[in-house]
Amino acid sequence: MTTHVEVRPGAYADSITLMLVSRTAARLDGVTAAQVTMATPLNVDVLAGMGFEVPAGADANDLVVALRLDRADALPAALAGVDRALEEANRPAPGGETAVPPRTTAGALDRAPGSPVLVSVPGPHATVEAMDALDAGSDVMIFSDHVPVEQEVALKRVAAERSLLVMGPDCGTAVVGGVGLGFANAVAPGPVGIVAASGTGCQQMLALLDHAGVGVSAALGVGGRDLSSPVGGLATREALRRLDADPAVELITLVSKPPADDVAAAIEGFAADLTTPVGFALLGPGRPDLTAAAETVLRRLGRPVPDWPVHGSARPTTRGTRLRGLFVGGTLAGEAAQIAGAGDFVDFGDDAWTAGRAHPMIDPTVRLEHLAAALADPDTAVVLLDVVLGHGAEADPAARLAPAIAGAGVPVVVTVVGTPADPQDRDAQVAALVAAGAEVHLSHAGATRRALALLPSTTGAAS
Amino acid sequence: MNRPTMVSTGTDLLADAVAGQGLDVTRVEWRPPADGTAGDLVTVALDPLRRAANARALEAMLGVTATLVDVAPASEVLGLGPGEFLHAGPPITWDRASGPLRGALMGGAVLEGLVADPDDAVALFESGTSVSLEPCHHRGTVGPMAGVVTPGMWMFVLEDPATGRRTHCSLNEGLGKVLRYGAYGPGVLDRLRWMGDVLGPLLRTAVRSVRDAGDPIDVTAILTQMLQMGDEAHNRNRAGTLMLLRDLAPAMVGAGDRPSADVADALRFVGGNDHFFLNLAMPACKLALDAARDIEGSTAVVAMARNGTDFGIQVSGTGDEWFTGPAQTAEGLFLGDYGPADANPDIGDSAITETAGIGGFAMAGAPAIVRLVGGTVPDALATTRRMREITLGANPRWTVPVLEFAGVPTGIDVTKVCRTGILPQINTGMAGRVAGVGQVGAGLVTPPAEIFPAALAALAARARSRSGAGAGPPRS
């Protein structure tokens, strides 16, 4: 065993560096104990406790290198190791990652104050994040579904006190300040303001008005439950107030299922007190469809109602009896059922189909599986589909849908909800679907009626 | 003109869609909260008192300034009677006390003349008939490491001039073999006796002299300055100590009621003890945090403290209740031959500094400390930024130059800790596991994670009972 104690007058490193160096030194080959330290009285005691004898006269300005080795010939390498460790300890560390990403909505708003917030975390956690937004004075769109209604009410009451807007929960679509949030079509600004309790209903309206050359200043989603009795239209009021205050908005249209009876009168009364006229596009049995609602908007603005475009041409069916509607848009599925009266209409965006997987506007897998089964079913007479384009949606839906319908033995009618400015290139999508044999409409009501007309007359589907 | 901004919390795809339209999107790196907390987090988020209560708590803690108004024995300023011992952390009994706490109590018993031999103190504390233990925090006091305070120990007395509220802390003994690390040998006790006989009275004269001259020591202001001089006021108090010495030395010398050799000894002792100011930083932090106590609905942590066995927190909205879990062992570097097996679990009230936004939370201003765990300067910057993710706000007075003078993160929010899983980072010394050993190292430590969900559950229960929903079904 060899002990080496060396005093280096005038050398200095701070105590923390030296603790680090000592630790490194103790791990060197042949070293059983090591202490590299300034010779302060405390450290001299420590060294004495370890059995090292520090030469008299060493003081706090002297560096002591004390090593115990199990063999003498290890000393030169060990001293070189100590020198290396001292050198490394004094070298600046390589630049590491010092930026810290925000971990809560509050943290993000601390960095970007005043920003609106889009929340799409799983439902049980959405309220907490949305509350951060309201606490920081920001509007919030809650894309998440599965948020309990009592939490929605609580959030919207807080928002109402602070004149903030809660869009959602389960709000899929909004256009704010010219920016599409969630699933939204690219539209030009214009005289219409939309308040929507329905995502795809709103998108159909955007696409039809765009085709008619009428822009939209803002489309504010409020969530499907906003006009129910428990929520009482809390967000609808704030949305109406915002649009009323926007000088660019000449006409407000409210797209929703019919409100609960007690809410309807209150909202109508609220709307009547606004400066800007409010039209109600309330969807449901016995009520005008979305296309009719869009036409009403155009007439109120004094704009001409165009012919809604149709591309391709399906031929009447030669087999089967049933109309099969497979949808990504819930409002569109509902509208088809309302117009057709009978048939199979499935909304693949419904909670039952999205548990644990992305919305079918993003992930088409489930609908494509069911489409293949429907086409193979000899009882299927006509297939009705929707393709919803816009921000947030699949980049190229026709890429997988067109091959799936090519060679179908039955007519396939598709509504493509989109605008030329949408990121997917609407015209190319339409062309691909037409090339695969589909008949493509912009108006979903038109598409549904066309699908009905293609059914064999003997099935006697309602009109 | 600035580009419009947006915050996205959740699916990247939706953030991408917005970014694709030309907005600056700030993305939240969201992760699910701690297990079992989702329901309580919603309840507390929707508590109508929370927002205003937290704003009040933050304002209260930031509004306090601490001045040093006196130095006096604990028997005088705390009314501590014979046999009464204060200790760090949440309440504990002798049978659960760790080595360093036992060692400090044994030394304290000798110091108070209750026993002649430290070993005889064991029976004294085991019987418990003539002695009592109480947390420092319950008596307006904080104590570093074991935090043992006996009636005869001299205390700093800090006061909030606006309210007259006071907090207290003992005088710092230095490093190595010292009572607060559980050492109780003759040298330790001799030093403490000298501190009581010479240092304490000298400091009292000096402190009263500058106080009565209308220029009391402004501890908060020294903290402001030292944080810009490389101290984080927990493991590094070098600049603060020297500034204190600068402010007090003339009055110590000028008092003239002590032999000059005593004055020289005292000046040498203070100047040679880089941690002397810690015992002023701690009560200054407690003075600030106590102002934020007992605000119904507030989720702000007002104390973090360890007794060597348990780590406890107190929260503004839950009164004096302690939420405790097992104290962790620090990671760091060791003195001499000591290693991890020699270290006692975390101990001391000094985490009051982190609770107030300094110590580990001000790591960016004291990058040298990060090497205690083999870290880097970027680690130090990231630590301070990361702590901001779990606090209610930042301190405009205590700033970090290298972070563009950002204020230190202040007001630990129980809900944010549960949401992010980010635990407060504490800089700490390590005491030897065995009574009598003293300091074995220094390093970094965090609280046990489970105490934050426990505090959250208590906050949620109070919110539910206030809203009349207390009879509802139990939440997971």
Q: Which domains does chain A have, with CATH numbers?
A: 2-90 (3.30.70), 103-170 (3.40.50.720), 172-306 (3.40.50.261), 310-453 (3.40.50.261)
Residue B472: pLDDT band (50, 70, 90) is very low
Q: Which of A276-285, A445-454, B99-108 has the lowest mean pLDDT?
A: A276-285
Residues B428, B317 share a domain: yes
Cβ neighbours for A53, distance < 8 A, ≥ 6 positions apart: A5, A47
| Residue A401 DSSP symbol | H
Report pLDDT digits (tens) over B81-112. Answer: 999 999 999 999 999 999 999 999 999 999 99
Nearest-CA distance B329 → chain A (Å): 18
Using the 3D structure, point to which of B282, B306, B321 is the last residue of a domain. Answer: B282
Closest approach of B14 to chain A, Cα-based (Å): 6
Q: Is residue B288 part of a domain?
A: no
* Band of pLDDT at residue B471, cut at 50, 70 and 90: very low
Q: Are residues B111 and B220 in the same domain?
A: yes
pLDDT band at B329 (very low <50, low <70, confident <90, very high): very high
CA–CA gap between residue A179 and residue A289 (Å, rounded): 27
Q: Residue A19: count other Cβ atoms within 10 Å of its Cβ.
A: 25
Q: Decide if pLDDT at B6 tops 90.
A: yes
Cβ(B451)–Cβ(B325) under 8 Å?
yes
Range name among A235-249, A350-364, B12-26, B284-298 with the lowest pLDDT average = A350-364
- For an interface test with B, the pick among A88, A109, A129, A363 (most B C-beta atoms closer than 10 Å) comes out as A129
Residue of B7, B10, B336 lying closest to A121 (CB–CB): B10
Give yes or no for residue A257 having a pLDDT over 80.
yes
Nearest-CA neighbor of A24 among A89, A76, A72, A75?
A89
Report pLDDT digits (tens) over A360-375.
Answer: 998 888 899 999 999 9
- Asked if A33's CB is within 8 angstroms of B337's CB, the reply is yes
Domain identity same for B54 and B179: no
- Kindly state whether residue B42 falls inside one of the protein's structural domains: yes
Residue B1, in any domain of the structure:
no
Does residue B409 belong to any structural domain of this protein? yes
Residue A96 CB partners (closer than 8 Å, separation 6+) = B376, B377, B378, B379, B382
Q: What is the mean pLDDT of chain B?
A: 94
Indicate the burial class of A55 (C-beta count within 10 angstroms; 0-12, 13-18, 19 or more): exposed
Residue A337 three-state SS: helix
Q: State the CATH number of the domain containing residue B348.
A: 3.90.1700.10
Total CB pairs under 8 A between chain A and B: 189
Please give the ipTM for the structure prediction: 0.93
> Looking up tokens 């406890």, which residue turns up?
B312
Query: Residue A456: what are its φ and ψ, rounded to 5°?
Result: -60, 140
Distance between B13 CA and the closest CA of chain A, angstroms: 7
The CATH number covering residue B234 comes to 3.90.1710.10
Q: Which residue of A has its CA nearest to B51?
A: A135
| Distances A130 to A30, A139, A314, B42, B356 between C-alpha atoms, Å | 60, 9, 47, 10, 28
Is B46 within 8 Å of A155 when comparing Cβ atoms? yes
Residues of A in contact with B389 (CB under 8 A): 100, 102-104, 107
Does the beta-carbon distance from A96 to B371 stay under 8 Å?
no
**Alpha carbon B429 to chain centroid, angstroms:** 12
Residues of B whose CB is below 8 A from A103: 28-31, 389, 419-420, 422
pLDDT tens digit sequence for B337-369: 999 999 999 999 999 999 999 999 999 999 877
Question: Cβ B422–A103 below 8 Å, yes or no?
Answer: yes
Confidence of residue B2 (pLDDT cuts 50, 70, 90): low
More confident residue, A38 or A160: A160
State whether A104 and B38 contact (CB < 8 Å): no
Q: Judge: B374–A121 Cβ closer than 8 Å, yes or no.
A: no
Least confident interval from A449-458, B139-148, B284-293: A449-458
- Mark residue B193 as left, alpha or beta (left: phi above 0; alpha: psi -120 to 50; beta: remaining): alpha
Inform me whether the pLDDT recorded for B130 exceeds 50: yes
Q: Which region among A281-290, B227-236, B302-311 has the lowest average model confidence (pLDDT)?
A: A281-290
Residue at B91 is within a domain? yes
A17 with B371: Cβ contact below 8 A: yes
B68: alpha, beta or left? (left if phi > 0; alpha if psi -120 to 50): beta
Residues B101, B57: one domain? no
State which residue of chain B sits closest to A111, comparing Cα positions. Answer: B26
Nearest CA distance, B38 vs chain A (angstrom): 6
Q: Provide the pLDDT for residue A431.
A: 97
Q: Give the one of B11, B39, B51 whose C-beta lies nearest to A135's C-beta.
A: B51
Q: Is the pLDDT of residue A317 over 90?
A: no
Say yes or no: B42 and B102 in one domain: no
Closest of B194, B193, B173, B170 to residue B182, by C-alpha: B173
> Does the residue B13 lie in any domain?
no
Closest CA to A295 of A285, A284, A309, A281: A281
* Residue among A17, A119, A180 whose CB faces B9 most closely: A119
Q: In sequence order, what are the residues at sequence separation of 6 or more whose Cβ sits closer than 8 angstroms to the Cβ of residue B203? A: B71, B154, B171, B248, B252, B266
Question: Distance, in angstroms, between B396 CA and closest chain A CA?
Answer: 15
**Contact criterion met (CB < 8 Å) for A93 and B9:** no
Tokens linked to A246: 């926007």
**DSSP summary character for residue A380:** E
Q: Which residue of A has its CA nearest to B9?
A: A119
The CA–CA distances, whole Å, from B119 to B95, B99, B309 equal: 15, 13, 21
CA distance to B291, B357, B360, per residue, from B278 (Å): 20, 14, 14
Instruction: Please give the Cα distance from A108 to A118 (Å, whole number).
Output: 12
A200-226 tens-digit pLDDT: 999 999 999 999 999 999 999 999 999
The answer to whether residue B272 scores a pLDDT higher than 60 is yes
Chain B interface, best mutation among A40, A44, A100, by max B CB count within 10 A = A100
Residues of A in contact with B58 (CB under 8 A): none
What lies within 8 Å, CB to CB, of A173 at 6+ separation is: A180, A181, A182, A183, A184, A196, A199, A200, A202, A203, A219, A221
Per-residue confidence (pLDDT) for residue A22, from 0 to 100: 87
Cβ–Cβ of A104/B388 closer than 8 Å? no
Which residues fall within 8 angstroms of residue A28, CB to CB, at 6 or more apart?
Answer: A34, A74, A77, A78, A81, A82
Question: Are B146 and B193 within one domain?
Answer: yes
Distance CA A244, CA A251 (A): 9
Tokens of A450: 């066309």
Q: Is residue B71 part of a domain?
A: yes
| Strand, helix or coil for residue A218 | strand
Domain count, chain B: 2
Helix axes A199-211, A290-300, angle to 10 degrees: 50
Mutate which: B8, B9, B269, vs A, most A CBs within 10 A:
B9
CB B324 within 8 A of CB B90: yes
Question: Which site among A46, A98, A150, A167 would you substitute to test the B interface, given the most B Cβ atoms closer than 10 Å to its Cβ?
Answer: A98
Residues B171 and B205 in one domain: yes
Residues of B in contact with A116 (CB under 8 A): 6-7
Give the domain extent around B43: 38-61+293-467
Which residues on A lie below 8 Å from B39 (Cβ)?
124
Residue where one domain finishes, among candidates B242, B263, B282:
B282
Contact A20 B28 (CB under 8 A): no
Which DSSP category does A328 fall into? S
Residues B267 and B221 placed together within one structural domain of the fold = yes
Work out the minimum CA distance from B37 to partner chain A, whole angstroms. 10
For B215-248, what is each residue's pLDDT tens digit?
999 999 999 999 999 999 999 999 999 999 999 9
Kindly list the residues from chain B whose CB atom is less than 8 angstroms away from the CB atom of residue A14.
368
Residue in the block written with tokens 């507030």: B298
Question: What pLDDT is recorded for position B1?
Answer: 45
Task: List Cβ neighbours of B434 (8 Å cut-off, separation of 6 or more).
Answer: B99, B103, B182, B342
Residues 6+ apart with CB under 8 A from B172: B144, B273, B275, B276, B277, B278, B279
For residues B181 and B326, state if they share a domain: no
Comparing alpha-carbon positions, the chain A residue that sits nearest to B40 is A128
CB atoms within 10 A of CB A303: 15
pTM for this one? 0.88
Q: Cα distance from B401 to chain A (closest Cα, Å)?
A: 15
Residues in chain B within 8 Å Cβ distance of A59: none
Query: What residues of chain B lie within 8 A of the CB of A120, using their CB?
Result: 8-11, 14
User: How many whole angstroms separate alpha carbon B18 and alpha carbon B9?
Assistant: 12
Residue B378 and residue A96: Cβ atoms within 8 Å?
yes
Question: Over chain B, what HEC string results?
Answer: CCCCEEEEECCHHHHHHHHCCCCEEEEECCCCCCCCCHHHHHHHHCCCCHHHHHHHHHHHHHHCCCEEEEEEEHHHHCCCCCCEEEECCCCCCHHHCCHHHHHHHHHHHHHCCCCCCHHHHHHHHHHCCCCEEEEHHHHCECCCCCCCECCCCEEEEEECCCCCCEEEEECCCCCCCCHHHCCCCHHHHHHHHHHHHHHHHHHHHHHHHHHHCCCCEEHHHHHHHHCCCCCCCCCCCHHHHHHHHHHHHHHHHHCCCCCHHHHHHHHHHHHCCCCCCHHHHHHHHHHHHHCCCCCCCCCEEEEEEEECCEEEEEEHHHCCCCEEEECCCCEEEECCCCCHHHECCCEEHHHHHHHCCCHHHHHHHCHHHHHHHCCCHHHHHHHHHHHHCCEEEEEEEEEEHHHCCEEEEEEEEHHHHHHHCCCCCEEEEEEECCCCCCEEEEEEECCCCCHHHHHHHHHHHHHHHHCCCCCCCCCC
Residues B131 and B211 in one domain: yes
Residue B334 lies in a domain: yes
CB within 8 Å: A392 and B176: no
Mean pLDDT over residues B401-409, rounded? 92
pLDDT for position B470: 44
Looking at the complex, report in whole angstroms how far the Cα of residue A241 sits from the nearest Cα belonging to chain B.
Answer: 22
Task: Tell me: do B177 and B197 sit in the same domain.
Answer: yes
Q: Quick one: CA torsion of B435, B440, B444, B449, rounded to 10 degrees? A: -30
What confidence tier does B415 reach under pLDDT thresholds 50, 70, 90? Answer: very high
Q: Quickly state the pLDDT bin for B469 (edges 50, 70, 90).
A: low
Residue of A nearest to B18 (CA): A181
**Six token digits for residue A445:** 């009501």
Look at residues A293, A253, A290 and name the one whose alpha carbon lies nearest to residue A271. A253
Of the residues B250, B282, B314, the one at which a domain ends: B282
Token duo for residue B127: 């019987």
Contact between chains at B389 and A108 (C-beta distance less than 8 A): no
**Residue that wins the pLDDT comparison between B451 and B472:** B451
Asked if B411 and B336 sit in the same domain, the reply is yes
- Residue listed under structure tokens 């839906």: A397
A181 CA: distance to closest CA in chain B (Å): 6
On chain B, the residues whose CB falls within 8 A of the CB of A23 are 333-334
